[in-house]
Amino acid sequence: SQDPKHKGGDEEIIGGICYRAYPEMRFAEIAFCAVSASQQVKGYGTKLMNLLKRQMVREGLEYSITYADNYAIGYFKKQGFTKAITMPKGRYHGLIKDYDGGTIMECYVHPSIDFTQVPDMIEAQKTFLLQRVATVAKSHRVVYPALPRGLKPDLTGVSRANQDAARSMAIPGVAEAGWTLADLQACTGAAKDSDRKANQLKSELLALWRKTQEQQSAWPFREPVNTDEVPDYLEVIKDPIDLSTIEKRIRKGTFYKTREMLLVDLMRMVNNCKLYNGPDSPYTDCAVQLE
């Protein structure tokens, strides 16, 4: 069948995934993944991966790891894989085969999700949201006539800086939708320039954060220290910081005003590690390498 949702039929082998499970370490290595060239871009690759994830859940495996070539990186990203390896290196080091020219990627497989039902879950969420929107929206009930050709709103007394906002307010339906002149002014001029600069800084900081997180020596810093496992940590470290907290601060958009402020947090993160663990710890080695 040409329909990837069709469950019957075995006339043709369209693809497959080979994996090696390491039950004691709770992960699986994908060694081979391919879909017939004549059957690609039809959703079969996603269906294969979802079936594999369901099987991994049944086997109690929580991570999937693989080496992707340059042509496959995009596919694996769509399937939830990332270049940022969160699984402790000790769990897979020496077990999986290293490939020159390949990019190591990882996917966490949540044990409570039936991945074969993901499309149905997304469709149900979409339907629910549209139903809720429809209870308050008017756009599907009120239709305004088309704007007359050559419409020129009356801009008498409106400053040049506010003329774009005033023209927008003259469009039927804009005011009725709840927009005000102040709202539209905030989207133009100095406010727009300020937003552009803030977004540019946010993008730069996220790029620096991703580059830091992708380093192999970054694995001890990706999540906060578990104080249940390390009960005296906060007695030694008074101002803890980690990469996940830094990411939240960046995405908030208002915490870091400069790149130097990000550097201060990153340096505090590695210095905290060195202070708590001492010079002979493998965690300190990672801190030095990341620094």
Quick: pLDDT tens for 216-232: 889 999 999 999 999 99
pLDDT of residue 262: 93
Average pLDDT over residues 244-255: 91
Query: Which residues does residue 217 pair with via DSSP β-bridges, in sequence order?
Result: none
Q: Is the pLDDT assigned to residue 100 strictly greater than 70? A: yes
Phi-psi domain of 178 (left: phi exceeds 0; alpha: psi -120 through 50; beta: other): left
Q: Report the C-alpha gap between 134 and 157 in whole angstroms.
A: 39
Q: Is the pLDDT assigned to residue 137 strictly greater than 80? A: no
The 10 Å Cβ neighbour count of residue 213 is 21
Give the residue numbers marked as catalytic. 29
Q: Lowest-pLDDT range, 91-100, 111-120, 138-147, 190-199?
A: 190-199
Please report which helix (H) or strand (E) contains residue 31, including its range: strand 27-35
Regarding predicted confidence, which is higher, 162 or 10?
162
Q: Report the C-alpha gap between 118 and 224 in whole angstroms.
A: 30
The 10 Å Cβ neighbour count of residue 115 is 22
Inter-residue contact 276 to 207 (CB < 8 Å): no
Q: Is the pLDDT assigned to residue 128 strictly greater than 60? A: yes
pLDDT band at 143 (very low <50, low <70, confident <90, very high): confident
Contacts of 18 (CB under 8 A, 6+ apart): 30, 31, 32, 33
Q: Report the C-alpha gap between 89 and 66 in whole angstroms.
A: 14
Average pLDDT over residues 238-261: 92
Regarding predicted confidence, which is higher, 32 or 185?
32
pLDDT of residue 1: 47
Q: Is the pLDDT assigned to residue 68 strictly greater than 80? A: yes
Cα distances (angstroms) measured from residue 73 to each of 48, 83, 103, 107, 183: 16, 9, 8, 13, 41
Q: Is the pLDDT assigned to residue 6 strictly greater than 60? A: no
The rounded mean pLDDT for the chain is 87
Rg (CA), the chain: 26
Percent of the chain clearing pLDDT 70 (strictly above)? 93
Give the β-pairing of 27-35 and 63-68. Answer: parallel
pLDDT of residue 108: 93
* H-type alpha helices, the chain: 44-59, 73-78, 89-92, 118-134, 163-169, 181-186, 189-213, 233-236, 243-252, 259-277, 282-290
Cα distances (angstroms) measured from residue 289 to each of 88, 225, 277, 282, 286: 17, 19, 15, 11, 5
Q: Is the pLDDT assigned to residue 85 strictly greater than 50? A: yes
- pTM here? 0.47
Give me the amino acid identity at 168: S
